[in-house]
Amino acid sequence: MTRWALLLEYDGTGFVGWQSQAGGGALQDHLEAAAGKLVGNRVTSVVAGRTDAGVHASGQVAAMDLPERFDGRTVREAINHHLKPLPFVVLQAAAVGPEWSPRFDAIGRRYRYVILNRRARPGLDRHVWHVPARLDEGAMAAAAGHLLGRHDFTSFRAAACQAKSPWRTLDVLRVAREGERVVIDVEARSFLHHQVRNMVGTLKLVGEGRWAAERVAAALAARDRAAAGPTAPPGGLTLTGVVYPADPFSPAGPDRSPAPPSPH
């Protein structure tokens, strides 16, 4: 068997999230079913980050073991064929070592949250949170500075979060306006459940002028979910990338071994 790293892109609208659930409709189920049609038997996968219902990805990473007779192009094209017509595709497939894990080998995860900040609702783009009232992105950026670094993020953690510790190190929390959009880029080694969306919902209160920037620091220090702002909706959030010590999708990826030739 060969372990394959898969670089994935999907529109999370209409899915119940990544993780398989009893009622179906999970992205994991669709990926494993598509790969199963390629090999003729059940296939299981591991993923870098289990995105919630309605959350999108442009740089999700998964891994699965497949028979050695396949090459990377065959894996990508065949899985994509069986995923049609879902808004879910494999961008790249790369052979990695048998012990490589998309989750445990990751040293960083990057998310982007987009707020469409204009009076008119979106006509084309579903990957945004529509906020009609003008936001002060400068105040939001100042408030974001209080969250950088290593902290107990209990105030920004979902009640259902299963992480053993609420401590996380936030490496990047950048807020910038791009025309009608307020774009929030976030990076950390790992995140708590709903952490990004809870931070965005809180920063929106600052942008609206309802909170002073310093209140975000107070909310963080309270270590109480009730002290922070609301959870932003999932549609504006996209997992944009997963960081590894060696990128499996670059020519110098980890433990890359040549794929065997396809049978004639």
Per residue in 172-226, pLDDT tens?
999 999 999 999 999 999 999 999 999 999 999 999 999 999 999 999 999 999 9
Give the start-to-end residue ranges of the domains of the chain.
2-105, 108-240
Which pLDDT value is given to residue 68?
A: 87
> In the annotation, is 52 catalytic?
yes
Decide the pairing of beta strands 167-178 and 181-188. Answer: antiparallel
- pLDDT on residue 259: 40
pLDDT at 253: 55
pLDDT for position 250: 87
Neighbours of 11 (CB within 10 A): 19
- List 11, 29, 52, 247, catalytic entry: 52
| Residue-level pLDDT at 166 | 98
Instruction: Give the Cα separation of 164 and 174 in Å (integer).
Output: 27
Query: Are both 2-105 and 108-240 of the same fold?
Result: yes
Instruction: Tell me the CATH number of domain 2-105, given options 3.40.50.20, 3.30.70.580, 3.10.310.30, 3.40.50.300.
Output: 3.30.70.580
Predicted TM-score (pTM) of this structure:
0.93
Interatomic CA distance for residues 226 and 208, integer angstroms: 19
pLDDT, position 252 = 61
At 168, list the tokens.
């996380």
CATH architecture of the domain covering 108-240: 2-Layer Sandwich (3.30)
81 vs 87: CA distance, rounded Å = 12
pLDDT value at residue 254: 52
Distance CA 97, CA 9 (A): 23
Backbone angles phi, psi at 211, to 5 degrees: -125, 145
Rounded to whole angstroms, how far apart are CA atoms 225 and 114?
A: 23
Q: Check whether the bond before 132 is cis (ω within 30° of 0).
A: no
Stretches in the chain below the pLDDT threshold 70: 252-264
DSSP conformation class of 14: T
